[in-house]
Amino acid sequence: MRFSWVLIEPVMPVPYVPTLGPARWGDPLHELLEAVVDNAGTGRFLPHDKDRRWGATKTERVLADAIEHDQEQTLVPTLVERGRGVVKVYVYGAAPGSLSAGAELARKLAAVHGAAKARIVWFLDADQPDEYAQGARVQLKDFNAGPGEAPGVPVQEYKELPEGAEFQAFATAMAEDGFAFLYGQMQAGRVGHVLTVLHDGLVAGAIGPMETLADARGDARLLPQYFGVLPQHRGRGYGRALWRAAMHWGHRHGAVYQLLQTEVGGASDRLCRAEGLTSLGFVNHADV
């Protein structure tokens, strides 16, 4: 399968590549689309895939034979081979029937592959009102402008925590935010630095792992982190302090930028907007 960039560029309001996630305008998006198709079914990670740190095998692959690509729309289906399986159809198109066509294709392929869920993913540009979004905002932190303001409260690395700080208890309480999984990865020595903030000597919030990876252009990208503060300690500025400490870590370690997907209207979304990140648009999703 080969994509015509002349066809897909006008219907790509957000720089987003199936199985890889968000990119920047100016990145080689056409080449990245071709690469994920060429890589489909191999189980290998592309060198610049942010998910390679979490396992040995790529679990989402493009269903190349089912791609629909014409003048009105491009539909790129993928299969997530984890759990009971999910078929996603990434819809690039503004035609009145694009979402319906994507939903029909998702349901059909879910039945063919025995997947438990069928889902469509579509995009809105950054100028659209927040109320139109049904998912996440893609946000860009550009380190060429510097790291931003310093944290307002002390932040320290996990490895420097005093005895009795109870990171494990924090991770258990924040399991729904991914910290139980992250703690397991930390114990196994598979991830980088994790930054923490304490309240009365106990871990109240954390962000990590802090890692960079070269993208398709060779630029160092600060990878997304798990990020959270215990409910009883929110509103004290701990989240903002952790975020700013993470940005300073990225700047010190040569990151050129970071891309994040934040739930529209959520705490992280509001924080990133207040910290001056640039919105690249919205990634919406719905089960069908």
Can you tell me the distance from the alpha carbon of 154 to that of 193, in angstroms, rounded to the nearest whole number?
16
Fold classification of 140-281 is Aminopeptidase (3.40.630)
Look-up: residue for tokens 């700080």?
A: 165
* CA angle at 216 for the pair 213 and 220, rounded to the nearest 5°: 30
For strands 86-93 and 257-263, give the pairing.
unpaired
Residue type, 124: L
CA distances from 280 to 138, 140, 157, 212, 272 (A): 5, 7, 31, 21, 13
Q: What is the pLDDT of residue 1?
A: 65
Where are the chain's structural domains?
5-124, 140-281
pLDDT tens, 91-138? 999 888 999 999 999 999 999 999 999 999 999 999 999 999 999 999
pLDDT tens, 28-46? 999 999 999 999 989 999 9
Look-up: residue for tokens 């990876």?
A: 213
Q: Which of 6, 164, 19 is nearest to 82 (CA)?
A: 19
Can you tell me the distance from the alpha carbon of 25 to that of 280, in angstroms, rounded to the nearest whole number?
9
What single DSSP character describes residue 212?
Answer: E
Phi, psi of 283 (to 5 degrees): -115, 115
pLDDT (tens digit, 0 to 9) for every residue of the chain, 288 residues total? 689 999 999 999 999 999 999 999 999 999 999 999 999 989 999 999 999 999 899 999 999 999 999 988 999 999 999 899 999 999 999 888 999 999 999 999 999 999 999 999 999 999 999 999 999 999 999 999 999 999 999 999 999 999 999 999 999 999 999 999 999 999 999 999 999 999 999 999 999 999 999 999 999 999 999 999 999 999 999 999 999 999 999 999 999 999 999 999 999 999 999 999 999 999 999 999
Q: What is the pLDDT of residue 95?
A: 86
Three-state secondary-structure class, residue 140? strand
